[in-house]
Chains A and B, each alone.
Chain A
Amino acid sequence: DIQMTQTPSSMPASLGERVTISCRASQGISNYLNWYQQKPDGTIKPLIYYTSNLQSGVPSRFSGSGSGTDYSLTISSLEPEDFAMYYCQQYDSSPPTFGAGTKLELK
């Protein structure tokens, strides 16, 4: 199985700050990389698919990039509702696998 390593595991940040979360795959995944947001109540929301495509309704402050084994999620200016868990997930190879998550916390 492809291992997905997310960094950092937690990140204190301030409102309005620009933040970047990284995700590294144990082998190349040809941009087959999604990002999800999970709120404390357990609700999971897809944010980005195929590395850089925003899901419908996702604010434009979210963006994704990367290639090969290295990918990232950037939030350009943090809003209060952005403090949550974030997960990357590859679907280049079966089974699909997830990163361990990044907890974005209010500083």
Chain B
Amino acid sequence: QVQLQQSGAELAKPGSSVKISCKASGYTFTSYYISWIKQTTGQGLEYIGYINTGSGGTNYNEKFKGKATLTVDKSSSTAFMQLSSLTPDDSAVYYCARSPHPGSFAYWGQGTLVTVSS
């Protein structure tokens, strides 16, 4: 069955970076996009962007350009999202999701909590 297993919770200091992983199994990794979504209590669910797992091409929500960097390692069927120059506003749960096409999210990971605090 399709599974997206995300890495564990992160505690990071302001100004630092974190890299979250999303390991896919149960399907052909390069046949689907991987999208990333941010969830906070205040802003709700926000789309960050997606990566074409076959070509490595990316598309970002303007709001997250310069904040998030999406990459993949096809050999391990894993997608990554790096968040840089962290501020407390980046504290959130981040989800990866398998997308049959950009903008639709058919399977979700369990979420990764990122807390930014000094």
- Does B47 count as interface, using CB distance less than 8 angstroms? yes
A70 CB, nearest partner CB in chain B, Å: 20
- Does B105 count as interface, using CB distance less than 8 angstroms? yes
Counted as pairs of residues, one from A and one from B, with CB atoms less than 8 Å apart, the total is 49
A45 CB, nearest partner CB in chain B, Å: 8
Please measure, in the bound complex, the distance between the C-alpha atom of A55 and the C-alpha atom of B93, giving whole angstroms.
24
Please measure, in the bound complex, the distance between the C-alpha atom of A76 and the C-alpha atom of B59, giving whole angstroms.
38
Does the CB pair A96–B111 fall under 8 Å?
no
Interface residues of A in 80-107 (CB under 8 A from B): 87, 89, 91, 94-101
Total residues of chain A contacting the partner, CB 8 A: 21
Does the CB pair B47–A95 fall under 8 Å?
yes
Does the CB pair A98–B103 fall under 8 Å?
no
Using CB atoms, name the residue of chain A closest to B49: A95
Does the CB pair A101–B44 fall under 8 Å?
yes
- Does B25 count as interface, using CB distance less than 8 angstroms? no
Does the CB pair A44–B103 fall under 8 Å?
no
- Does B61 count as interface, using CB distance less than 8 angstroms? yes
On whether A34 and B47 interact (CB within 8 A), knowing A42-B110, A42-B111, the answer reads no
- A-binding residues in B (CB < 8 A): 44-47, 59, 61-63, 93, 95, 97, 102-108, 110-111
- B-binding residues in A (CB < 8 A): 32, 34, 36, 42-46, 49, 55, 87, 89, 91, 94-101
